[in-house]
Amino acid sequence: MTIQRHDTKARMSRAVIHQGVAYLCGQVAGPEARNGDITAQTESMLARVDALLTEIGSSREQLLSATIYLKDGNDVAAMNEVWDAWVPEGYAPARTCVCAPMPSDELKVEITVTTAVS
């Protein structure tokens, strides 16, 4: 059994791949967008997902599932606008969206993704 771990630290790995499936750690907005609104934070967060997908040899078209955590349920519509533009037509993954506290006060959204790897 082969398990590949990417950018592993004491607490976590940025991604773990097993049997052609990659499990990405939670992604949040980058420092440039952390004080922005939900649109800016969602765009930044998804750009970080794109970068990690590329790093591990996957893509948006290979997404299997996504769990989105929102600090404020009133942000669902604005987050969905960015999400809908980001997901390629016909390739929407299984998705869950829940409200949850964030690891720091300025964050409004976090995502965890599972994806197939070629």
**Domain segments of the chain as ranges:** 3-116
Residue 16 CA to residue 77 CA, distance in Å, equals 31
Tell me the CATH architecture of domain 3-116: 2-Layer Sandwich (3.30)
CB 114 within 8 A of CB 25: no
Residue 87 has pLDDT above 90, yes or no: yes
Cα-based distances in Å from 23 to 29, 49, 98, 117 = 18, 12, 19, 10
Residue 1, pLDDT > 90, answer no
pLDDT for 34 beyond 90: yes
pLDDT over 90 at 69, yes or no: yes
* pLDDT band at residue 12 under the 50/70/90 scheme: very high
d(CA 46, CA 36) in angstroms, rounded, equals 14
Q: Label residue 118 by pLDDT band (50, 70, 90).
A: confident
What's the pTM value of the predicted model, to 2 decimals? Answer: 0.95
The enclosing H or E element of 15 equals strand 15-18
